[in-house]
Structure 1
């Protein structure tokens, strides 16, 4: 296994040898799960000698509702660095319409101990990245590492960009670059129904919601109760019972999932449609794990009646806290 996925070669003839070893191999890095990713493509680029390198990223800071610029001298695992040595990361926060000023760039330069003569080029480099971050509706733009070349040019030696899915309609060029291979089979199945699905490394509880905020609320409460989320399915905008049923089967057939919480705030998506989808999915594949449904909003009483009319192991709750506690208790009894 090629842990880093990066190989440096000095002779042109070695490209074929190294490439043949990497293609078809399994790549395991901090960015993949423990199963890793099968290598199907290789990028070949020129090696640029550098005299300095550092970490730089722009991210959406959801806590402070701003854009954060993160700078670090080390280019190793930034997550470990943030946890173990948070003081070694420079954080600068910017409002959406706020520009990066000369004093901000000076602060970055001082933090990195860069030569004063590199300041103008550093300013141009950082400002251009910031403009790209906003123009592309990105949620993260990570350069790891930034290299300062021998001739004093700042270069992005590697880059990773995450985009806001809700803004992709403005970026057809970005959509064209999407590669289904990068997504799991379950993610693709959910996407075909117009829904969002995500899996986590740990956890054994599945969440079905109609909004990321509803998922986050349950996720946080599970953590308070020493439990973890295995995956969640966001069926926001769903109005087709068959598509809802197809998506629910993704969750119900996940071997990691030992219990399911459904947290629906009915509005455009009527609660009874979700209930019908649940019944349809269970009728087809069965249900041998606890499931607790919490409905609020449009047709919630009808949804409860639909579930109560069928002799399946469904439980209902009026609040997400009640739903969580009921599920954890049912899972204990199911062991």
Structure 2
């Protein structure tokens, strides 16, 4: 997945699993996920900290930004292969932006495409909407696949039913392909249930007001950080018993009822993730291939007794 992301976004070919940029990107994404929680960094509350030297304590984020800038400069020199970020550096789409604004927008675009949040990337998404924004949604896909494996271990009857469908439709001679997607309805429902059962970004990510605004009598100054808890709480939506009876049970067949809504895991409206279709396709390939090749079951302890895993999310409530 990382290789596809790097080739698409940065024009960089990954040769091995221990590639320096891949390892660095993994660390960057972890830091990015932590940054989604405003309380993790004092600079979010005390902007004056943005001006302190980056050699002082609590300024790791500034050193990370410098590394991103060095990568951007390398691409800007024209020695890198064609990529989305490279093409936008000199694109008419970014005309009228000063260097600081361009840096901010493109860094946001790059990390968002790599990390795969449910929200799009500030204003630039509107201005490059005609560009084919492709992403593998590494963090989101990886987290969803972890939830998928957990579900298969906890609900073996679901796993058996999905594998039976694959064996019947595809056979044993090859792995599923994108062309088989419409022929595997149960697998598709299984993926929808994975995204509902354990949403990757339960309450979305914080937003920043781009201009002064007022809502229900409240004045919202430009630059205010906000959590959209009432309209972006995916976790609450996924636990709505009126829409999803027995919500903690993993049941792909609930979607046989056309009135059952699909949880908007990738957002909605103009803030919808620009790589939704690519992410869904990658999920299908990964899930169907694993079901075709492996059987997941509970581990056993030293006495041979099955160990039932307990699903526990991280303390960070923004990202699972």
TM-score range, shorter chain: under 0.3
TM-score by length of 1: 0.24
Structure richer in helix, relative to its length: 2
Query: TM (normalized to structure 2)?
Result: 0.24
Structure number with larger C-alpha Rg: 1
| Larger RCO, structure (CA 8 Å, separation 6 or more) | 2
Bigger strand share: 1
